[in-house]
Amino acid sequence: MSDTIRHIQLSSVVLPLATPISDAKVFTGRQKPMTEVWFLIAEITTADGLEGVGFSYSKRAGGPAQFAHAHQVSDVLIGEDPSDIGRLHVKMLWAGASVGRSGVAVQALAAIDVALWDLKAKRAGLPLAKLIGAHRDSVRTYNTSGGFLHAPIEEVLENATRSREAGIGGIKIKVGHPDPRVDMARLTAVREHLGDDFPLMVDANQQWDRPTAMRMCRAMEPFGLVWIEEPLDAYDYTGHADLARAIDTPIATGEMLSSVAEHLRLIDERSCDVIQPDAPRVGGITEFLRLSTIAAQAGLQLAPHFAMEIHCHLAATYPIEPWVEHFDWLDPLFEERMEIADGRMIVSERPGLGVTLTEQVRSWTVETAGVGRR
């Protein structure tokens, strides 16, 4: 007889950030500095006593909404076979169909979906990447968290040195400052600091209009960047496509899109060279894998956004050599650390995602709910 889902524990967790974070959206007045990240954590227990853990997240707003929606729909999984992940994902979608298939509606499901995949891999005694089918046991990794616009350039350079010495294989800095001279001065300083051959990326966080983006992208061509990220509004498919055709430097985008359907427009309109889906934002691992198959067929490079604990496994399954973003913000949530060596992030050999929650998570938990029986 198949194992069944007995209990799902949901936790809303607020992770405080040590330093308020500012990118271009703050400097243009569209957002306040980020001081915390909300996480929705799902812990699934089966009748046989097996456990899986997953998470999704939101920055600045949306955490309580994700928690509430997940609580409403998760009871449809009680008594179900946890191995039937695709069917269960559709069942949850239909349970919340009136609020659609993007945004909070799918981000709430992502934590549960990830927990189901973690559980399935643990049952098989395999790392998640091996369960899905890995192309490699490590992935190129780059650091973003040291290059935000609120940091003085001296601090950015120190962070870059520290990351490089730690084995990080690339550095990304934030641009999109209202004064383009600031962007160019910071980029020049970082390129000179790293040397011509070290992989360097920039991220404008959607803050340029079309004429500005064209000018800035052309001005940045001589810097030999791996990519220019989110030069335009995330939903400006046509503008991104025009840039991708006009600029030799690869154009990257996709992290802010919250469904597979939205990413399909990026692919159909050839709006990017590097696609940057985020599994927690698009609905979990099930949806990410559906999208990555299509992206690979289109010949796109892959660089998943944030959540390296999930994306290291998923990037390892992509047929084209990918990048994974290194953020240490989530370190307080997990007992384990991602291993970095020679510019690459090593795929964990532990079963499942290979992470366990810390006790600190409990102290940051602001709300809990359970469905089923313990």
Residues annotated in the binding site for Mg(2+), as ranges? 203, 229, 255
First-to-last alpha carbon distance for the chain, in angstroms, is 20
Residue 204 is encoded by which pair of tokens?
Answer: 């404008």
Is residue 228 within a helix (H) or strand (E), and if so which, with residue range? Answer: strand 228-229
Residue 44 has phi, psi (to 5 degrees) of -105, 135
| Beta pairing class for 251-253 and 51-59 | unpaired
What are the DSSP calls for 17-38, one per residue?
Answer: EEEEE--HHHHTTSSPPEEEEE
Q: Which of 348, 370, 298 is nearest to 74 (CA)?
A: 370
Decide: 182 and 204 in contact? Cβ < 8 Å: no
- Binding-site residue numbers for substrate are 23-25, 59-60, 172, 205, 325
CA 125 from chain centre, in angstroms, equals 25
Decide: 201 and 171 in contact? Cβ < 8 Å: yes
Decide: 70 and 62 in contact? Cβ < 8 Å: no
- Binding-site residue numbers are 23-25, 59-60, 172, 203, 205, 229, 255, 325
Is-catalytic flag, 326?
Answer: no
Decide: 253 and 276 in contact? Cβ < 8 Å: yes
Adjacent-strand bridge partners of 45: 7, 51
Residue 307 is encoded by which pair of tokens?
Answer: 């959540």
Decide: 330 and 287 in contact? Cβ < 8 Å: no
Measure the CA–CA gap between 96 and 76, rounded to whole angstroms: 11
| Catalytic residue (choose from 122, 305, 313, 326) | 305
Decide: 112 and 70 in contact? Cβ < 8 Å: yes
Is-catalytic flag, 305?
Answer: yes
| Beta pairing class for 251-253 and 274-275 | parallel
Measure the CA–CA gap between 65 and 79, rounded to whole angstroms: 25
| Catalytic residue (choose from 69, 174, 313, 326) | 174
Residues serving a catalytic function are 174, 305
